[in-house]
Each structure stands twice: as structure tokens, then as C-alpha cells.
Structure 1
Amino acid sequence: MLLEKMLQSQGFGTRKNCQQLIQNAAIKIQDDIITDPKFRLDLQDLEFEVYGNTFQYREKVYIALNKPQNYECSHQATHHFSVFDLFDDVLKNRGLQCVGRLDQDTTGLLLLTDDGQFLQALTHPKKHVPKVYQIKTIDPITDEQIQQLENGVELRNEKGSFAATEVTRIAEHELSMAIHQGVYHQVKRMLAAVGNKVESLHRGQIGQLKLAELPEGEWVYLTEAQFVAAKNTDINYFQTL
């Protein structure tokens, strides 16, 4: 791949902007400053520097973020911060998108990518990739409510019944459960349907990918094993971040 094209693919701006970076002697590869925009590259394990900052070539990016409260999963946030404010312009220029959404007041595991096929694999209704949530409720959680969640509830303006799996009461006002769809405000609406109300909501796992010690507001690139785990419909085994 040509150097100018590689830089553009990695989010360093338009072809003209990338040419200007190269002509300004900003690009270094293996200790050599490259000033030819048509310099041909081997992309295998490629690392390069831009004004002294080191980057690794990535054909596509797969990112896990521990989303904080008061961040919207939108490029054009209206009332709060945007999760995209947590990333630099280079990543945003790649067309980074959220894989599904979390409400502004919901915390936890959020995946982002510039790979449309990966996004489709995790969000298509037929895929049924489970998402595990930890929920704190206003009222005590009853056995009857747990049974209703497992059997399935109807949600207004939605077709069919929505059931949770792996429902576990952690404390009187706290439970964990997995959902396999992704309709608007699903967890909050399911708890409301059984006569309770969500006080706080945290997503801790997608597929086999489990949020562990990643600090709130921080993000990491997914490894290949984590990438595969995120698409898995089985939650009995997991890879951690």
C-alpha cells in the first residue's frame, strides 16, 4: 500500500493532508524519515511514527470502553458529553461507531469499531448475542419478579415476549441478568413491566467478553481472542479485559 493511502486509512485526514504530513518530514518508519507519498509499504506488523508519536497499522479497529455516566452514544450529543469525546481525532476520523448504545446514565462495557460487518454481527436481531447487566432497583426484588423476567414480559409497542436468562439476585435491591435482544430501554422497561424500577444500570459482559479491571472512562483495543469472544452467544465462558 502507498504511504499516503495508508495514512488516510488510519485516520490522518484527507489524501491531501496526508501528502502534506509526508512532505513535512513528519513520518518515520524504522528510523527512516519518508518524504515520498508514493512509498510502498509492507503492512505486516507495521509501526510508524507521526511527529514522534508511534502508531500501529490496523486494518480495522475494535475497541472496548468502560463507559462512564453522563456520556451519550452519539456523535452529536445534546444534553451530555459524547463518548467520542474520549477518543482522539485520528480514531474519530476512521468513522468509529458504537456497537449498540447505552443510555447516558448507564455505565459499563461499550464496544466501538469502524468495521461494519462486526457491528452487524453483534447488533442484528437474529444473532442473539447476550448482554449481561447488573441492576440496582428502587424496590426489593421478589421471587415473583424474577420468575416473570425468566418467563418473559411484553413491552409496549414491541412485538413478542422479552425474557431474561441467568437471572441472579445479588442483594435485596440488586440483580444480574442477561438479555438477548436490544430494543430501546429494554432492561428498564422489563423491570417496569414486573412492577419495579431501575435505580442504576451497568453492563458487565457482551457475549463471552467480560469487563474486569478497566477503569471507568478508559478504553483498550481488543485482542483477537477478545474480538471472537464478543461475538459469541455463549456466556458460560469468558475472556476478560
Structure 2
Amino acid sequence: MDERKRKREDAVRINKYLSQAGVCSRRQADVMIGEGRVQIDGETASSGMRVLRGQKVTVDGKPVRIQEDLVFLAFHKPRGIVCTTSRREKDNIVDYIGYPTRIYPVGRLDKESQGLILMTNDGEAANRIMKARNYHEKEYEVTVNKKITKEFIEGMRNPVPLKEIHAVTRKCRVAKEGPNQFRIILTQGLNRQIRRMCEYFGYRVTRLKRVRIMNIHLGDLKEGEYRPLTSRELRQLKEELERE
């Protein structure tokens, strides 16, 4: 196979390219392309154009490229660390990990929470995981400030209005684990969702730990440490994303 043919076969649609590079979702990329903000080798891109290996892509004049060596890490975020790539935040997750290549968090855990968060440089996979409409499961262990009642568990299982963010939660699975502890599985990622749900019923979260995202489990990963996903975890994750 000659080099020109190999380049054509490796060509990627421009909206997919921007998504894989972590710039935005494919839908957002289409909007940016329509606004004339994207260029390929200095030429304004149009919808449906493909990027060949070696071509230069820019958005608003800034170069963009796909990381050829994709990284997927499971990280046990400690309390106090902020899920942002902004260096203006002294406790940002990127500086805390200190990984040698550019990676970013998939979704968020609030500063007071701990547990599993995925870190990657695969922008398209990150966007797919974060889409609420895909109903991806996230599992948490939660401790609250007083004894849990049957009414509380039943209430948490059903839709809860969160007036502060003008949203209503989806039905979810909740199980009591101890006098003050419960386990909850969400398919949403609303801002401070579990804390707000508990507050609605007069409870306050004292400890919140995420232990699973889709097929990825925190397991015995120690606080502040990370590990690469296993080949099996990565294969299962990508198979699930491809089915959507």
C-alpha cells in the first residue's frame, strides 16, 4: 500500500477529529465549522471535510491535534482536589497527578468528595461517557449525618426536585448499607446531585465516595493514586460506547 493510499484510509471527518482531540463534541464541532472558525492547512473547513495524517488543523487560529498514544487512567481523587484543568486553581487535578502527557478529567467530583474519576486524552470517548442521555451508571457510597429511614431510601429512589438547579432527578437504585450509610447508582451527573437530594429530605452528606463508573471499579486503588485501565476494562468500555 503506497503512502498516499494509507493517508486517505487514515483520514478522519473534521467534526470527529475535533471531538477526538478533546476540543468539543461532534455537534459543537459542526457549529464551529459552520461559523468558519476551523481551518485545515490554512483553508477554512466545511462540513464533511476529512483530515489527512500530517495536515494542520486550527480552531480560532490555535493548533489542534489528536494524541496518537491514547491514555485512560483510573484515579482515586482525594477530598480537596478540584476536577479542573485550570492552573489558576492551586488544587487542580492535573497538577496533583503530574502525568507526563496532557490528560483531563472525564466529568467531575466536587471538591469535598473522593473516589473514582477517569482521566484521558481521548476527547471523543470522554464526551460519550459524559452524555447524560446515554444513562451510564455511576455508583457511590454515602454517609449522612443521622440515621437513615425507610422513607428516606424510598424518597431517594424516586424523582427528587432540585429547585436550586431547576432539575428533577431520574429514578435510581438506592440500598441501605448501615445506620448512616447507603449506596446509590445514578445515571445522571447533575451538579452536587447526591448532596442536594439528601438535603431535600433533611440529611447532610458527611462522606461521599464514587466507587464505579460504568464497568470501571475503584477497587482497592489507594487515595491519591492512579492506574491505567486494563485491556479488558478498556475493551468493555469501548464496546459499550460503540453500541450507542
TM category, shorter: 0.5 to 0.7
Deviation string for 1:67-114 (max 9, x for gaps)? 11111111236665222123336223xxx1110011111111010111
Matched, 1:128 2:135: yes
TM-score by length of 1: 0.66
CA offset digits 1:213-239 (Å, max 9, x no partner)? 111111111123212445688xxxxxx
Task: Report the RMSD for the aligned CA atoms in angstroms.
Answer: 2.4
| Matched residue, 2:155 | 148
Q: Which residue of 1 aligns with 2:209?
A: 202
Q: Alpha carbons of 1:142 and 1:111: their partners in 2 closer, same or farther (altered >3 Å)?
A: same
Q: Deviation of residue 197 (structure 1)?
A: 1.1
Residues 72 and 119 in structure 2, CA contact (< 8 A), matched pair in contact too: yes
1:169 deviates by 0.6
* Aligned-partner Cα distance in 1 for 2:150–2:87: 39
The one-letter code sitting in structure 1 at the alignment partner of 2:139 is: V
Alpha-carbon displacement from aligned partner over 1:130-150 (angstroms, at most 9, x marks no partner): 110100001211100111111
Separation in 2 of the partners of 1:86 and 1:183? 25
Q: Is the CA contact (8 Å cut-off) linking 1:71 and 1:80 kept in structure 2?
A: no
Counterpart secondary structure, 1:74: coil
Question: Superposition pairs for residues 40-189 of structure 1, below 5 Å?
Answer: 59-76=69-86, 81-88=91-98, 90-92=100-102, 96-158=103-165, 161-189=168-196
TM-score, scaled relative to structure 2: 0.65
Q: C-alpha separation between the residues in 2 aligned to 1:127 and 1:68?
A: 27
Amino acid at match of 2:83: C
Q: Where does residue 220 of structure 2 map in the other structure?
A: 213
CA separation of 1:167/1:80 partners in 2, compared to 1, >3 Å: closer, same or farther?
farther
Query: d(CA) in 2 for partners of 1:159 and 1:225?
Result: 39
Aligned residues, how many? 175
Equivalent AA in structure 1 for residue 79 of structure 2: Q
